[in-house]
Amino acid sequence: MRYFLDTEFNGWLGELISLAMVCEDGRELYLLNIDRLENTIDWVKENVMPILTVPGADPLCSTLDQIGPRIEEFFAGDKAPHIVVDWPDDIKYLCEMLITGPGEMIRVPRMTFELARVDAYPTALPGAVQHNALWDARALSLALTSKDGA
């Protein structure tokens, strides 16, 4: 199954702030990394932090050690999740969250990634808020499924 992923992070090489996935079956996961909400760069402070929670996007507040298990639960039953992103950092941050400790990771039998260079905005989604990870994942899903007819 395809999962459309977006992340927000604290600038170039900064820490993960939020992660959202929209599955093609309609399920959604929106996680806020509450361990990393301090000391953000100015752009993030002005453009991301105020919109972490907006109408239609209420994140599940998670500590860093809870994110991996919540992703594992979201993927449960899918033997081969296919992750679709529009930016390489999204893959990086997801993969970092899969690692739960030294030599340990969540249980994912097989996973593939697709980098689709597409502009998800402007979007036809009513109420969409750019730079909110969940809304951005929804916009990416719409942009790609409306193009491929899925």
At 3-24, the pLDDT tens digits run: 999 999 999 999 999 999 999 9
At 50-82, the pLDDT tens digits run: 999 999 999 999 999 999 999 999 999 999 999
Write down the architecture of domain 2-148 according to CATH.
2-Layer Sandwich (3.30)
Give the span between the Cα atoms of 123 and 114, in whole angstroms: 21
pLDDT score recorded for residue 149: 45
Nearest CA-CA partner of 5 in 126, 98, 77, 106: 98
Q: Where are the domains of the chain?
A: 2-148
Cβ neighbourhood burial of 88 (10 Å; 0-12, 13-18, 19+): exposed
pTM of the model: 0.94
Distance of CA 109 to the CA centre of its chain: 20
